Structure 1
Amino acid sequence: MLSKKLVCVVLSVTVGIATSAITAVAVFFQSAATAQTFFSCTDEQGRQIRSDRPIAECVDRNQNELSSTGMVRKIRGPTLTVHERNALDEKEKIAADVNARVNEEKRLSRALLLRYPSRAVHDKERGLALTSLAEKNQALQKIISTLNEQRKKLDKEFEFYAQDKSKAPIALKHQLENVESSLTLQKRYLSEQELERTRINSRFDLELTKLTPQWSVVAPNISQQSEKK
Structure 2
Amino acid sequence: MATALALVAPPLHAQAASAPSPVIYSCIDANGRVQSADRPLAACADRELRVHNPDGSLRRIIEPPLTKEQRAQREAEEKRRRDEAWARKVQQARDRNLLLTFEDERSLESMRRRDLAEIDHEIRLATQRILTLDQELKAAQEAAQTWQAANPNRALPFAYQQRITETANAILAEDALIDDRRTERDRVNSRFDADARRLRELLGKPAAQRDTGSSPRS
Which position in structure 1 is the counterpart of 2:116?
Answer: 130
1:172-226 Cα deviation digits (max 9, x unpaired): 43322221221122222222222222333333344455x16xx335437xxxxxx
Structure 1 alignment gaps of length 5 or more: 1-13, 221-229
Identify which of 197, 219, 222 aligns with 2:204. 219
SS at 1:79 equivalent = coil
* Contact kept in structure 2, 1:41 and 1:50, CA below 8 Å: yes
Q: Does 1:192 align with 2:180?
A: yes
Higher helix share: 1
Counterpart in 2 of 1:52? 38
Identity between Structure 1 and Structure 2 (%): 13
8 Å CA contact retained: 2:136, 2:167: yes
- Whether contact under 8 Å (1:116, 1:122) holds in the other structure is no
Give distance in 2, aligned partners of 1:175 and 1:208: 49
1:93 aligns to what?
75
Alignment of 1:53-202 (within 5 A): 53-54=39-40, 63-66=50-53, 74-80=59-65, 84-117=66-99, 118-163=104-149, 164=151, 166=154, 169-202=157-190
199-208 or 185-194, which moves further after superposition?
199-208
Aligned to 2:6: 19
> Per-residue deviation at 1:134?
1.0
Residue type at the aligned position of 1:63: R
Higher relative contact order (CA 8 A, sep 6+): 2
From the CA coordinates, give the structure whose radius of gyration is larger: 1
Question: How far off its partner does 1:137 sit?
Answer: 1.0
CA distance in structure 2 between the partners assigned to 1:129 and 1:195 by the alignment: 13
